[in-house]
Structure 1
Amino acid sequence: MPFVVASSKIEAKPIVVVEKSDFDGWLAGQPEFHRSWVASQDFDAEGGKTLLLPNESGNTEAVVYIKDGDWNIWSLADLPARLPKGHYTIATELSPKDATDLATGWSLGTYAFDRFKTDKKKYATLVLPEGADEDMVARTVKAVTLVRDLINLPAGDLGPTALEAAASQVAGEFEAGQGNIVGDDLLTYHYPMVHAVGRAAADAPRLIDISWGDKSDPKVTLVGKGVCFDTGGLDIKSSAGMLMMKKDMGGAATVLGLAYMIMDANIPVRLRVLIPAVENAISGNAFHPGDILTSRKGLTVEIGNTDAEGRLILADALAAADDEAPDLLIDVATLTGAARIAVGTEIAATFTDDDALFADIAAHGEKEKDPVWRLPLWDDYRHLLDSKFADINNTASGGGYGGAITAGLFLKEFVEKAKSWVHFDIMGYNVRARPGRPVGGEAFAMRALFALIRERYGR
């Protein structure tokens, strides 16, 4: 939290919060000098706008912030970059949640992916508001930063080996157990579709498996799609289609961030994280359209398209997770363009047959400003995945309609024993800049899921 400091002894300029509806009354009660200054600025008191108030010497005395509606994590996230460098304090009473959210958003407003280009921006610093949960602020900021950094890394710097190393750093911080099944060992330990998708790459495919917590606690398992780069395989993508494919491991990054938050908060669950990490590359031993693979579960899968590889590796990982009948099974993946067509680029498409689970996720998504939207696992579309030669096809017939739904139905075939399962089809990337959310990698649904898990299983 480099731009949020927890010290009340620092001399800081106040951010005076004025409700939009009260602005005229507030202004009428100000000294003539300030009234004249505001009039000279032709200030439009709209929600989220700020105005620097000078003293008679011309130095900034305070900042006026116009509030219009409830606080949320992003309310002040643009201020670190907009305000002059210095220390500021929020001069209004806040609930503990609002104080925590505002400090979190402020810190995330200073995020920049600076590994290859120095961030020369000077940011303003916030004094941690009274009542804020400093640990929660730091936890969220670190997890979101981890997810964004991993997604933003080019594929040349984050292949399966590097993704394994990143997972090891998270696991090691909390003394979690980790096992990695690499290369041809995937065949020995029965992850044949992970092997098939990744075998053509120079960087060997692998299954990353992290375990943490007391075995007597409720079992929560996270599965994340870790396609570090996707050429499309032999059904090769266009050059334009490959430009964003460094983000195709966004699901893996998200579950690592969520796992970090769970372990850092010491939530009493038996956590397992499964990440099939591959590069869908092209070489002489690449899997082909028309191949039939035998999955970990034993279902045979006809390959209708090698560019529908994410569901293949997820299927093997989900089958392994499902064997343990977890209380809650969550998978996160940058899975289909169809989901982006359905809900756009800023909402996590969500699939589950558990109505109560989705109601809780949606409620937390609203509270955390981490939006989700439910799409149906419409069983009447299952016939679109029928194959003449295998138990199931990895792509649907019917012209691509309902592509996110049929992808979800494919995954559903590999989940039977879990008490509750939810699948997220995410963008994993901000395509426009908003306060606290620059263009680039993003942690979709992670904060909502953490709130859910903390509420359900926390002490």
Structure 2
Amino acid sequence: MHKSFTSDAPQTVRVWLYTGTLFGALENDPFPNARAIAEAQGFTGGAGQSVIVPGPDGRTSDILYGLGAGRDQLALAALSAKLPAGDYEIAADGGYPFASIAAGWADGAYRFDGYRTEKAAPPRLLIPASEDAPRLSREADAVSALRDLVNTPAADMGPEQIHARISALGERHGARVAAVVGDALIDENYPMVHAVGRAAVKAPRFVMLEWGKPGAPKVSLCGKGITFDTGGLNIKTGDGMRIMKKDMGGAAHAIALAELVMEARLPVHLRLFVSAAENAIAGDAFRPGDILQSRKGLTVEIDNTDAEGRLVLADALTRASEDQPELLIDFATLTGAARVALGPDLAPLYTDDEQLAADILAASEETGDPVWRMPLWDPYLAYMQSPVADLVNSGGAGMAGSITAAIFLKQFVSAKSWAHFDIWAWRKAKYGRPDGGAACGLRAVWAMLEKRYPAV
């Protein structure tokens, strides 16, 4: 069971969730003097409002918590983020599905404490017998593992540690894992992964995992695994570089999703591809003006070494497409332009497959995991044309940066159905938690896969 959940709690604190509308419509007290206590403390069901009510023995017996308009299904994170250790149960759900309540609870209760001498003791949510506790626990575990990967400093989460993580995952589930490391990337035709990572002390690598029966539908996942991004010779500012340990967040999402697929034993033939490299600065760093070969054969002129993620992902997408998967999904912390457009929480989705888009957006609505579809506007390919090569890696228009990056990637995809997520994998201080790694779009994609390929 996930550490912030329990299925056995002889004594619990009751949590009453209300939107403003639901609380205003109450005709009877849910517990003695509830409305009088709420009125005395100004509780109206507004977002983030809370009232802690003691019982006769002085211990907390009930908590009122406001959901506001009820649009944010992770709103409960603001409560679990500040509660002390103990066991809690949901007495009124505020109209939220229990799965969203559990996800929000785990989100707020999470703490990255691997480097602290004092470990956090999370508040535990009682999972009713009517709910699918193993499923909820698997999802919460996957999200926590994803966040741990993103939060771990680059000194301890380089390409070899990502490789080790995938190897351990493969061993646990009986999957086959292989990797191409260092200069072998040139021999095995992953030239752009090599170019981006060759200046780093830690050797770049291309890691592959394969699981499931060969005759099952082919589902492939790709992740950008830049373990630290200095920007290369187009070096970032100090502020821009400060959280670049998170630039492997796309790989963390792909790994987490692969783990969910295997844990649930979905009837698919799964392949995971991760390009892992550090974009470092040294005498042999790739340069603006260089022209790189790609696995697909297209040549790419380097306009900006800080647009390196699309290079390593392009080789990965090419390799994934060679298997002709039925479905190909990639996650990448690709552009700041996506954050300007949609902020940190909305996961930008790019796909030409109308049914896939509809399925992901429906799953997003169901899970409360926000996803927003963006246009793959082919005319913007003109911005990615080079006078001396097939493509340039960074458009010079200064506009539509997330779209042009997606259009660049599209040139390397030949799968039947493809979706690209340009995520941030991070969240600024919110819900009473510190800055740190975050899952963006993961639960929506997972819900879509569960429906498309139901476990038997």
Match of 1:4 in 2: 5
SS at match of 1:116: coil
> 2 CA distance for matches of 1:345 and 1:30?
37
- Structure 1: give runs of 5+ residues left out of the alignment: none
Match of 2:439 in 1: 443
CA spacing shift, 1:314–1:120, aligned 2, 3 Å: closer
Higher mean alpha-carbon deviation, 375-384 vs 246-255, is at 375-384
> 1 CA distance for matches of 2:62 and 2:314?
56
> 2 CA distance for matches of 1:104 and 1:245?
26
CA spacing shift, 1:290–1:60, aligned 2, 3 Å: closer
Q: Residue 153 of structure 1 aligns to which amino acid in structure 2?
A: T
Higher mean alpha-carbon deviation, 368-377 vs 249-258, is at 368-377
Match of 2:199 in 1: 200
CA spacing shift, 1:327–1:438, aligned 2, 3 Å: farther
| Counterpart contact for 1:103–1:129, Cα < 8 Å | no
CA spacing shift, 1:65–1:176, aligned 2, 3 Å: same
| Counterpart contact for 1:14–1:63, Cα < 8 Å | yes
Q: Residue 4 of structure 1 aligns to which amino acid in structure 2?
A: F
How far does residue 303 in structure 1 lie from its aligned partner after superposition?
Answer: 1.2
CA spacing shift, 1:78–1:130, aligned 2, 3 Å: farther
> 2 CA distance for matches of 1:236 and 1:385?
21
Q: Residue 420 of structure 2 aligns to which amino acid in structure 1?
A: H
TM-score of the superposed pair, with normalisation by structure 2: 0.92
Aligned residues: 454
> 1 CA distance for matches of 2:173 and 2:103?
23
The Cα offsets for residues 355-408 of structure 1, whole Å up to 9 and x where unpaired, read as 12111111111211211112211111111111121111112122x211111111
Q: Residue 432 of structure 1 aligns to which amino acid in structure 2?
A: A
2:185 aligned with 1:189: no
| Counterpart contact for 1:292–1:390, Cα < 8 Å | yes
The Cα offsets for residues 268-315 of structure 1, whole Å up to 9 and x where unpaired, read as 111100001001111111112111111111111111111111111111
How far does residue 171 in structure 1 lie from its aligned partner after superposition?
Answer: 1.8
Match of 1:342 in 2: 341
Higher mean alpha-carbon deviation, 282-291 vs 118-127, is at 118-127
Q: Residue 403 of structure 1 aligns to which amino acid in structure 2?
A: G
How far does residue 45 in structure 1 lie from its aligned partner after superposition?
Answer: 4.2
Match of 2:391 in 1: 392
Higher mean alpha-carbon deviation, 325-334 vs 71-80, is at 71-80
| Counterpart contact for 2:180–2:207, Cα < 8 Å | yes
CA spacing shift, 1:116–1:33, aligned 2, 3 Å: same
> 2 CA distance for matches of 1:30 and 1:367?
28
> 2 CA distance for matches of 1:206 and 1:175?
22
> 2 CA distance for matches of 1:169 and 1:121?
26
> 2 CA distance for matches of 1:44 and 1:385?
53
| Counterpart contact for 1:308–1:395, Cα < 8 Å | yes
Match of 1:422 in 2: 419
Higher mean alpha-carbon deviation, 218-227 vs 235-244, is at 235-244
> 2 CA distance for matches of 1:424 and 1:402?
15
CA spacing shift, 1:101–1:303, aligned 2, 3 Å: same
| Counterpart contact for 1:81–1:122, Cα < 8 Å | no
Match of 1:244 in 2: 243
2:435 aligned with 1:434: no
Match of 1:407 in 2: 405
How far does residue 139 in structure 1 lie from its aligned partner after superposition?
Answer: 0.8
Higher mean alpha-carbon deviation, 60-69 vs 158-167, is at 60-69
- Please tell me the root mean square deviation across aligned C-alpha atoms, in Å: 2.5
| Counterpart contact for 2:113–2:120, Cα < 8 Å | no
> 1 CA distance for matches of 2:146 and 2:210?
19
> 1 CA distance for matches of 2:41 and 2:18?
17
> 2 CA distance for matches of 1:281 and 1:30?
59
> 2 CA distance for matches of 1:33 and 1:422?
52
> 1 CA distance for matches of 2:389 and 2:37?
75
> 2 CA distance for matches of 1:120 and 1:396?
46
| Counterpart contact for 2:3–2:122, Cα < 8 Å | no
> 1 CA distance for matches of 2:75 and 2:103?
10
- Structure 2: give runs of 5+ residues left out of the alignment: none
> 2 CA distance for matches of 1:288 and 1:40?
65
How far does residue 166 in structure 1 lie from its aligned partner after superposition?
Answer: 1.5
Equivalence map 1:57-68=2 (5 Å): 57-66=57-66
CA spacing shift, 1:102–1:71, aligned 2, 3 Å: farther
| Counterpart contact for 2:50–2:63, Cα < 8 Å | yes
CA spacing shift, 1:26–1:271, aligned 2, 3 Å: same
Percent of residue pairs bearing the same amino acid type: 45
CA spacing shift, 1:255–1:247, aligned 2, 3 Å: same
Q: Residue 454 of structure 2 aligns to which amino acid in structure 1?
A: G
Match of 1:280 in 2: 279
2:311 aligned with 1:315: no
Higher mean alpha-carbon deviation, 128-137 vs 82-91, is at 82-91
CA spacing shift, 1:211–1:44, aligned 2, 3 Å: same
CA spacing shift, 1:13–1:384, aligned 2, 3 Å: closer
| Counterpart contact for 2:199–2:284, Cα < 8 Å | yes
| Counterpart contact for 2:158–2:277, Cα < 8 Å | yes
> 2 CA distance for matches of 1:55 and 1:274?
54
> 1 CA distance for matches of 2:29 and 2:410?
62
| Counterpart contact for 1:100–1:131, Cα < 8 Å | no
Higher mean alpha-carbon deviation, 298-307 vs 245-254, is at 298-307
CA spacing shift, 1:355–1:288, aligned 2, 3 Å: same
> 1 CA distance for matches of 2:187 and 2:261?
32
The structure number with the bigger radius of gyration is 1
CA spacing shift, 1:6–1:404, aligned 2, 3 Å: same
SS at match of 2:155: coil
CA spacing shift, 1:152–1:23, aligned 2, 3 Å: closer
SS at match of 1:109: helix
CA spacing shift, 1:44–1:458, aligned 2, 3 Å: closer
How far does residue 174 in structure 1 lie from its aligned partner after superposition?
Answer: 0.8
Match of 1:455 in 2: 451
